Amino acid sequence: MRESSSRRSFLARLGRGSAAAALLPVLDATDLAALADVPPLRAPRAQEDESYWRLVRAQFPLKTGLVPMNAANLCPAPATVIDATVRAAADVDGDVSFQNRAKFDELRESVRTRLARYLGAQQDEIAIVRNTSEANNIIAGGLPIGSGDEVVISDLNHPTNNVAWDVRARRYGFVVRRVTFPATPSSAQQILAAFEAALNARTKVLSFTDVSNSTGVRMPTRALCALGRERGIHVHVDGAQTFGGLRRDMAALGCASYSASSHKWFMGPKEAGVLYVRSDRAADIWPGAVGVGWGSAPVTELAGARRFETLGQRNDATIAGMAAALDFHELIGAERIEARMLAVAAALCDGLASIPGARLVTSADPALRAGVCIASFERVQPRELHEALYTKHAIAGAPTGGLRLSPHIYNTMDDVERVVEAVRELTTV
């Protein structure tokens, strides 16, 4: 009762401000009420049917009728995350004193400990940063690489794990080698062979995306990490498309560093992210920003991954949001979240593949895909289809590499059927 009253009060205050002019025409009265009237979420039982996932869906105060399938870009956050973030922001603005804000230092360390447990890492191996892009650039800008060295990357990488290396290479004179393989590879071995052929004695870094945002291919990440590590190569994994969806254990994965955002599959607050740096690698990486917390200490004296998060004034509310997101994941369970996400994505890929004129870009092999499903169609361009799906059917996807649809646990099997029928209608006229 108290939570609902507080949220209604916040929305009422928002309604009196200029920000409401942009928000209120988009959200109707039913949508606003949904922010306050979310049914309590329980832990899943051993056997659950679709009704449980409808309960999970009800945790997300989505616009009425909308089907979000854009997790590869941005996930909605559940009401508990929104509430925790809003409350923390109000708390800070209500009392900006050092004394009041000191509690967020303790909360940050608690969240760091929980993130480390979630990722199979040690506490000192976790930096809480702002997003994957920042984390990728910390690695690309901080590793000691110079003339004569080589960096091997995938041509499927996000620009912050691709172009960022090119920019630094122009400044410091090292070579960037791009690995290319078919958009729909035939096997994990084909991917491994392409990377292995690019490595040599001069290779200092191997940097690739865990799951591609542009093809949906799921890399043989553990095998690639082993390939690099046995050669003394720093292996960096961009985990933007796996953190919060696929379970990831850093110790088992074997990478030297891993980057991720809170706002994608983790379903957490915006402008929060994670950088994992293995304990034996942190001291060798120079930070991109040096701020409060360093004092006069040399780089080697600030222990662990914390050296990468002295970024100036931060939004403390995002830490509260990440704590709430961890609560949400822990209640449902990482294993169950992964299984459900994969099941919904598989049903979607199979449904799209059944449409006349469709071609799956994402592999049909379950071992080579995760939550990102991309398809192309003979009669309709991706951008046109993407626009029509949203304007005519309230389905949110992306025109990336084809029609990209990336469902998550807030999507039901009814959503999948609705999307497949909408795509069928728009592509077979």
Residue 209 resides in a domain: yes
Which DSSP string do the residues of 205-271 spell out, in sequence order? EEEEESB-TTT-BBP-HHHHHHHHHTTT-EEEEE-TTTBTTB---HHHH--SEEEEESSSTT---SS
Residue 268 resides in a domain: yes
Residue 269 resides in a domain: yes
Task: State pLDDT tens for residues 95-130.
Answer: 999 999 999 999 999 999 999 999 999 999 999 999
Same domain, 368 and 420: yes
Asked if residue 146 has pLDDT above 80, the reply is yes
Same domain, 23 and 56: no
The answer to whether the CB of 72 falls within 8 A of the CB of 407 is no
Same domain, 62 and 123: no
Q: How many percent of the chain have pLDDT more than 70?
A: 89
Boundary (domain end) residue, out of 274, 305, 329: 329
Asked if residue 27 has pLDDT above 60, the reply is no
Same domain, 110 and 143: yes
Same domain, 279 and 417: no
Task: State pLDDT tens for residues 290-335.
Answer: 887 665 555 545 679 999 998 888 899 999 999 999 999 999 999 9
Residue 84 resides in a domain: no
The answer to whether the CB of 64 falls within 8 A of the CB of 28 is yes
Instruction: Provide the residue count of the chain.
Output: 429
* Least-confidence region, from 176-190, 229-243, 283-297: 283-297
Boundary (domain end) residue, out of 300, 329, 358: 329
Taking alpha carbons only, the member of 15, 53, 17, 11 closest to residue 36 is: 11
Asked if residue 4 has pLDDT above 60, the reply is no
Residue 199 resides in a domain: yes
The CA-CA-CA angle for residues 159, 163, 168, to 5°, reads 140
Q: How many CB atoms lie within 10 A of CB 223?
A: 15
Same domain, 102 and 11: no
Q: How many CB atoms lie within 10 A of CB 232?
A: 9
The radius of gyration of the chain's CA atoms, rounded to the nearest angstrom, is: 22
Same domain, 47 and 189: no
Q: How many CB atoms lie within 10 A of CB 280?
A: 9
Boundary (domain end) residue, out of 329, 361, 376: 329
How many domains are contained in the chain? 3
pTM here is 0.90
The answer to whether the CB of 269 falls within 8 A of the CB of 322 is yes
Same domain, 255 and 367: no
CATH number at residue 57: 3.90.1150.10
Cα–Cα distance list, 382 to 66, 349, 417 (Å): 20, 16, 20
Residue 298 resides in a domain: yes
Residue 87 resides in a domain: no
The CA-CA-CA angle for residues 83, 84, 87, to 5°, reads 80
Same domain, 30 and 44: no
What is the domain extent for residue 222? Answer: 92-329
Same domain, 252 and 398: no
Query: What is residue 34's predicted lDDT score, i.e. its pLDDT?
Result: 54
Residue 82 resides in a domain: no
CATH number at residue 206: 3.40.640.10
Q: Please compute the mean of the pLDDT values over residues 197-221 and round it to a whole number.
A: 97
Same domain, 174 and 313: yes
Same domain, 163 and 289: yes
Element (H, E) at 327: helix 317-332
Share the mean pLDDT of the chain.
90
3-state secondary structure of 22: helix
Taking alpha carbons only, the member of 246, 247, 224 closest to residue 237 is: 224
